[in-house]
């Protein structure tokens, strides 16, 4: 007897997840020679994911950089992806970037580029290494910058829709859900966090079609409630 293979469910690649985390991040931590510095609004992400740091002047970090030989340094950059809704555990992913710092452009000591050598993505499902070449070729999810607004609007203005979406899981969802809130959204799906007395279950519901932008995403959420239930998928963590 042959068994049909499970369908490959559309989802972001690890490289796309890293690019999405970077696209919406406003802060990061920089570790240099054992010292860690928190930077807020002091980085930009350019073409092919090129990361440029803009350390604020007259800070311990700039003093440290001024003392470094040749301004070419081994560093680690850490970013934490936080859910915008009031979940118990709001950490969705952690990204660690290691590489070397060097002047971004000649004659501009205030900007440093990060030449990546290693990228690690850690989520609730495990840890994955991302090749720098794959990272450079990937693009952020088209909803990455608007995801927070979409999720908070869904949670605050449409709690009835959230409840209806949870019902889509039917008997596959364990009993005893205390609370359900939007967890994440990308072009392929919306994810809900179903919390219990202890622990939680993450429910990922595939859209009937890819969402190109915020307006399309809203339409996809509404269409989920009338789409065939066999198209839905859920993950337990």
pLDDT in tens, 115-147: 999 999 999 999 999 999 999 999 999 999 999
Model confidence over 191-201: pLDDT tens digits?
999 999 999 99
Asked if 9 and 206 touch (Cβ cutoff 8 Å), the reply is yes
List the domains of the chain with CATH numbers. Answer: 14-137 (2.30.110.10), 147-231 (3.20.180.10)
How is the beta sheet containing 200-206 ordered, strand by strand? Answer: 179-185, 189-195, 200-206
Tell me 227's DSSP state.
Answer: S
Q: Which two tokens stand for residue 99?
A: 């590489």
Summarize the confidence of residues 183-197 as an average pLDDT.
96
Q: Is the pLDDT of residue 93 over 70?
A: yes
Whether the Cβ atoms of residue 85 and residue 92 lie closer than 8 Å to each other: no
Q: Write out the H or E segment, with its range, that includes residue 151.
A: helix 147-157
Q: Does an H or E element contain 77, and which? A: strand 73-82
Q: Is the pLDDT of residue 3 over 50?
A: no
Is 104 strand, coil or helix? Answer: coil
């Amino acid at each position: 007897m042959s068994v049909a293979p499970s369908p490959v469910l559309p989802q972001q690649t690890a490289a796309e997840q890293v690019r999405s985390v970077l696209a919406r991040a406003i802060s990061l931590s920089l570790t240099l020679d054992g010292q860690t510095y928190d930077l807020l609004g002091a980085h930009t992400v350019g073409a092919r994911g090129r990361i440029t740091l803009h350390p604020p002047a007259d800070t311990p970090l700039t003093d440290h950089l001024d003392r470094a030989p040749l301004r070419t340094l081994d560093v680690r950059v850490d970013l934490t992806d936080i859910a915008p809704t009031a979940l118990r555990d709001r950490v969705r992913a952690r990204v660690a970037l290691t590489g070397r710092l060097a002047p971004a452009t000649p004659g501009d000591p205030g900007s440093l580029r990060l030449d990546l050598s290693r990228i690690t993505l850690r989520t609730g499902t495990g840890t994955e290494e991302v090749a720098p070449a794959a990272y450079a070729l990937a693009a952020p999810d088209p909803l990455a910058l608007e995801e927070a607004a979409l999720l908070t609007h869904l949670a605050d203005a449409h709690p009835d829709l959230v409840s209806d979406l949870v019902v889509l899981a039917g008997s596959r969802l364990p009993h005893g859900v205390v609370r359900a809130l939007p967890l994440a959204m990308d072009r392929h799906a919306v994810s809900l966090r179903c919390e219990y007395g202890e622990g939680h279950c993450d429910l990922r519901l595939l859209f009937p079609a890819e969402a190109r932008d915020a307006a399309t995403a809203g339409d996809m959420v509404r269409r989920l409630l009338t789409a065939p239930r066999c198209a839905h998928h859920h993950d337990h963590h």
